[in-house]
Structure 1
Amino acid sequence: MIYPVDKLEDAQTLAQAIVNTIPEPFLVLDDRFRVLSASRAFYSTFRVDPEQTAGCLLYALGDGQWDIPALRLLLETIIPQKTSMDGFEVEHDFPNLGRRTMLLNARKVIYDNNPSSTILLAFMDVTARRAIERERAELLVQAEELLRQKEILLQEMQHRVANSLQIIASILLLKARAVTSLETRQHLQDAHQRVMSVAAVQSHLHSSGGIDQIEVSSYLSKLCSSLGSSMIGETQPIEIRVMAEDGKIASDKAVSIGLIVTELVLNAIKYAFPTHRAGALVLVTYEINASDWKLVVSDNGGGKIIRDPAMAKGGLGTAIVEALVKQLDGTMEFTSGASGTLVSITHATFSSRMPQATAPATTVN
Structure 2
Amino acid sequence: MDSLNKGSFIFSNQTSEQDFELMTRALDASISGVIITDNQQPDNPIIYCNAAFERITGYKRKEIIGHNCRFLQKEDRSQKEREILRNAVADGKSCVVEMRNYQKNGTLFWNELYMSPIKDAEGNVCYFIGVQNDVTRRKNIEQELKQHQDQMERKIEERTKSLRESEDYLASIVATVRESLVVLNPGFNVLSVNDHFIKTFKVSREETENKLLYELGNGQWDIPALKELLENILPTNNPVEEFEVEHDFPHIGKKLMLLNAHRIELEGQFKDRILIAIEDITDRREIERRKDDFLSIASHELKTPLTTIKGYVQVMNRLLPENASEKFKTVLQKTGIYITRLNNLISELLDVSRIQTGNIELHKEPFDFDKMVAEAVENIQSVTKTHTIILKGSTGITYVGDESHIVQVINNLLSNAIKYSPEEHQINVYLSRVSDFVKVSVTDTGMGISHEDQNKIFDRFFRVGEIQQRFPGMGIGLYICSEIIKNHGGTIWVESEKGQGSNFSFTLPLN
Q: Which category of TM-score, normalised to the shorter sequence, fits these structures?
A: 0.3 to 0.5
TM-score, length basis structure 2: 0.31
TM-score, length basis structure 1: 0.42
